[in-house]
Amino acid sequence: MLIKIGYDIALHLPFPTAVVFVLRVHPTRAGDLLRPEDFRTEPALPVEEYFDRFGNHCGRVNPQAGVIRFLNSAVIRDSGEPDTFAPAAAQLDVQQMPVETLEFILPSRYCEVDSELLDFAWQTFGNTSLGWSRVQAICDFVHKHLRFDYLQARATRTALDAFRERIGVCRDFTHLAITLCRCMNIPARYVTGYLGDIRVPPVPDPMDFSAWFEVYLGERWYTFDARHNRRRVGRIVIGRGRDAGDVPITMIFGQHSLVDFQVVTEEVGPGELNSARRSDPTAAP
């Protein structure tokens, strides 16, 4: 299947400042692009591109005061298959885990493993079966415990805050699930990317980037999603890290305000590509 992706993000900056961003398709999916991403800024600025320690494709620009727009459009191939289901995937003892997974069982900025959540996790999930079943039990709990409210997004909300407040957006569902997994010694990492309403009933909320998580079981990473709590089609990874602090869509080093935010992610057929591009608000003239 083919998925059209892109965005139009505009920020107003009262003063010149640097902007760091994680807005490009992750290198592990770059080979699936039908053509290179049409990433650009308005006004056009030199972009210093780099790859962080998690392998994310990042960039920095240094705009002057005024409005800076980040635009992108692309079409990417996807298998069309739902998230992998592997109920026999085994949980490893910490002594057996690959060393590169160990940082994903430790506390991080938004995931307070060393908090009241540690005792809660063991009391609640300690009798569940190890491995896939335990992760699914955690997703089931988070999905029921939190109420999704797009208007209640807060950049400073941590996993413990979400647990206490019982409300949040996809990043909060993800942070809480990651934290509970780590409390149970299951490596879990944060993922951000595109996830459109493909082969599911559309939701009324504006299209946005999405957050989900991956856990290390057996010998590989598997996708889980506590917010939707179902296998989905068409996830396109942008960034991975310990939590949302590692994969900021934009990080602005000064005052700013959001002017516009549009995200596109939808399935298209081969015959729709040209017409879709003409109608895409993120596409170049």
State the maximum Cα–Cα separation within the chain, in Å, rounded to a whole number: 58
Residue 279 pLDDT:
47
Each residue's pLDDT tens digit, 33-81 = 998 999 999 999 999 999 999 999 999 999 999 999 999 999 999 999 9
Map out the domains of the chain as residue ranges: 2-79+248-279, 99-233
Task: Characterise 255 by phi-psi region: left (phi > 0), alpha (psi -120 to 50), beta (else).
Answer: beta
pTM: 0.93
Each residue's pLDDT tens digit, 100-153 = 999 999 999 999 999 999 999 999 999 999 999 999 999 999 999 999 998 888
Handedness of CA 135, 138, 140, 142 (dihedral sign): negative
Burial class of residue 127 (count of CB atoms within 10 Å of its CB; 0-12, 13-18, 19+): exposed
Q: Torsions phi, psi of 217, nearest 5? A: -130, 140
**SS3 (DSSP) at 144:** helix
CA distances from 254 to 21, 137, 155, 250 (A): 14, 41, 16, 12
Beta strands in the chain (DSSP E): 2-13, 19-21, 40-42, 48-51, 57-61, 66-77, 147-148, 167-168, 188-194, 210-217, 220-224, 236-241, 250-252, 257-268
Identical fold at 2-79+248-279 and 99-233?
A: no
CATH of 2-79+248-279 given 2.60.40.2250, 3.40.50.300, 2.60.260.20, 3.50.50.60 = 2.60.40.2250
Each residue's pLDDT tens digit, 208-223 = 899 999 999 999 999 9
Q: Roughly how many angstroms between the first and final C-alpha of the chain, as a whole number?
A: 26
Topology (CATH) of 99-233: C8orf32 fold (3.10.620)
